[in-house]
Amino acid sequence: MGERTKFFSVSLTQGPKPRSRRSTATRESRYWRSFKNSQLSSNLFSAVSSLEFSPVSPNDLAATVSTSLLLFSGFESLSPKPFSPISNFSDVAYSPSYRYDGALVAAGGQSGLIQIFDPINKRPVLRRLRAHTRPVRVVRYPKISDKAHLFSAGDDAVFNYWDTAAESIVSSFPAAHKDYIRAGAACPVSPEVFATGSYDHSVKLWDIRANECGGSVAEFNHGSPVESIMFLPSGGMIATAGGNSVKIWDVYGGCRLIHSMDSHNKTVTSLCNGKILNKNSDLSVESRIFSVSIDGYLKVFDYSTFKVTHSTKYPSMLLSVAASPNGFAWVVGSANGVIYSAKKKEGKDKDEMEIDSNSGKSISLFSIPSEVKTNTVLKPSSHRYFTRGQGEKPSEDDYMVKISPKVKLAEHDVLLKKFRHKESLVSALNGKHPDKIMAVMQELVLRKKLIRCVENLEEEELGQLLGFFPRYATVLNYSRFLIGLAKKVLQIRSEDIKKSDKLKPHVKNLKRVISEEIKIQNSLQEIQGMISPLLRLAGK
């Protein structure tokens, strides 16, 4: 009451509105989507069998592709290091593993040889560990406070614990599993505890300190060949991948199955631990499980709510995944040698940078000295002099004069407001926005001006209108209106269409589209005829 009526711009009134895509995306999904995707070329065409980020800044990346170990610099571009690839392998290389301080990287191979390299400088191979007789698919350094040891396991079902400096085995567990050991992980809280997964469906936990009682402290059955295994950051839970499912186990609670995630359609090949950088609270860094599968999907799994929060499709089979410990990037390796990387966009958010500097893991690139504000007197030579005072906040006792916000109207709305109907229609047709065109046409019908507009259209504009028909005349929401209009237009302007060579193809197009639609409708009716007796029978 008391207000003059507000202005409505024309809008399509007919038909249900298409569901906006955005409504389905969660906040987290938007976060993951904000990462910028790119490809790292490996110059090779065989599978990227394994990927690993260095645990220390700047988080270099190690990847094993075919017979070589690729190293990428962790600075924002992920460019290959000058001495990469390291191709000291006689056969296929597997499972690169960084020592917890990032100073060494170990990798196994098809031949059963484990080699240790310096990932920072170009140096010859530092150590060669020979014991396995079959390919070594698992080589892992402990995650904390142990520089001297690593463990390995291979297709010979042997689990070895090495003293790397002496190139000697500390303890060996032959026949640790009954089949190939293809997965292994080191506990993030204890340097002596490891987990291995094998093709015999079982997962075993090893504690080196319990050497005399056979090493294995726990065993549980995944249910299908284990492809990948991973400790969750707390160390109390293990995620295992095998078959189409990822299972989460509670180790402390007697290796109890907590949850099974079955959202992949094909074998899950690799797991890793990812982090979300929370903009608002820098302390709570949430972590997620990244899983990749042969079906080409990367899924992000929130294990606190047991929900898949994001999934991305890649064009090829995925074999390996790794996420940067600082949460700024993840990489996935595909079966055809391409490494897809996703990096957080260099946000202009100062907050994020502050988080980085606080957590001490900042990527060197982002460290920008904070600006020191100085109270300089503005001079008429600067632009700011002329805009001074515009950002001033009002004080409490100031009288505020409200400026009514200016309503921005589309061109066709402005023209409709001025009752320039034909121009409005042409403007909408130029806009190539089918909803807008329909809305303008419906508004013109309500004003009883559409037919006159059609009569007055120039040849070129008529061509635009006729070009609009074949594309949208069979769209569900528009067809009722457009088919009636098209008929009318052809009636009114038949003379012009006959004369003009430009307009004829449009009509031909329309004819083709309509006959196609009739065919579809006929076949649909046939199907309906077939189904309806069945439904009636089912109803009884």
Binding residues (CB under 8 A) for other proteins: these are 1-5, 7-8, 11, 13-16, 441-451, 481, 484-485, 488
Distances (CA, A) of 314 to 73, 298, 331: 24, 8, 12
Query: Which CB sits closer to other proteins, 27 or 348?
Result: 27
Q: What are phi and psi of 188, to 5 degrees?
A: -75, -10
Q: Tokens at residue 515, please? A: 């006959």
CB of 26 to other proteins, least distance (A): 10
Query: Which CB sits closer to other proteins, 263 or 316?
Result: 263
Query: Which CB sits closer to other proteins, 279 or 447?
Result: 447
- Reported as type and span, the H/E element at residue 220 is strand 216-221
Amino acid symbol at 244 = N
Query: Which CB sits closer to other proteins, 323 or 441?
Result: 441
Work out the burial of residue 195: count CB atoms within 10 Å of its CB; fewer than 13 is exposed, 13-18 middle, 19 or more buried.
Answer: buried
Which of 148, 170, 149, 174 minimizes the C-alpha distance to 159?
174
Which of 78, 20, 17 minimizes the C-alpha distance to 332?
78
CB of 447 to other proteins, least distance (A): 6
CB of 19 to other proteins, least distance (A): 12
CB of 319 to other proteins, least distance (A): 33
Per-position b or e across 233-257, b if 16+ CB within 10 A of its CB: eebebbbbbbbbbbbbbebeeebee
CB of 2 to other proteins, least distance (A): 5
Q: How far apart are the first and last CA of the chain?
A: 57
Q: Tokens at residue 463, please? A: 């061509």
What is d(CA 68, CA 504) in angstroms, rounded to the nearest whole number?
63
In total, the chain counts a number of residues equal to: 540
Query: Which CB sits closer to other proteins, 339 or 453?
Result: 453
Q: Tokens at residue 27, please? A: 């906040």
CB of 438 to other proteins, least distance (A): 10
CB of 407 to other proteins, least distance (A): 12
CB of 513 to other proteins, least distance (A): 19
CB of 221 to other proteins, least distance (A): 32
Query: Which CB sits closer to other proteins, 87 or 521?
Result: 521
Which of 486, 490, 463 minimizes the C-alpha distance to 475?
486
Q: What are phi and psi of 263, to 5 degrees?
A: -90, -10
Contacts of 170 (CB under 8 A, 6+ apart): 149, 161, 162, 163, 208
Query: Which CB sits closer to other proteins, 214 or 484?
Result: 484
Query: Which CB sits closer to other proteins, 11 or 528?
Result: 11
Cβ(372)–Cβ(102) below 8 Å: no
What is d(CA 139, CA 135) in angstroms, rounded to the nearest whole number?
11
What is d(CA 137, CA 184) in angstroms, rounded to the nearest whole number?
9
CB of 7 to other proteins, least distance (A): 6
For tokens 């080409």, what's the residue? 296
Cβ(71)–Cβ(86) below 8 Å: yes
Amino acid symbol at 394 = P
Q: Tokens at residue 273, please? A: 């631990």
Query: Which CB sits closer to other proteins, 409 or 518?
Result: 409
Distances (CA, A) of 432 to 452, 460, 464, 471: 22, 15, 10, 11
CB of 286 to other proteins, least distance (A): 19
Query: Which CB sits closer to other proteins, 352 or 443?
Result: 443
Query: Which CB sits closer to other proteins, 204 or 421?
Result: 421
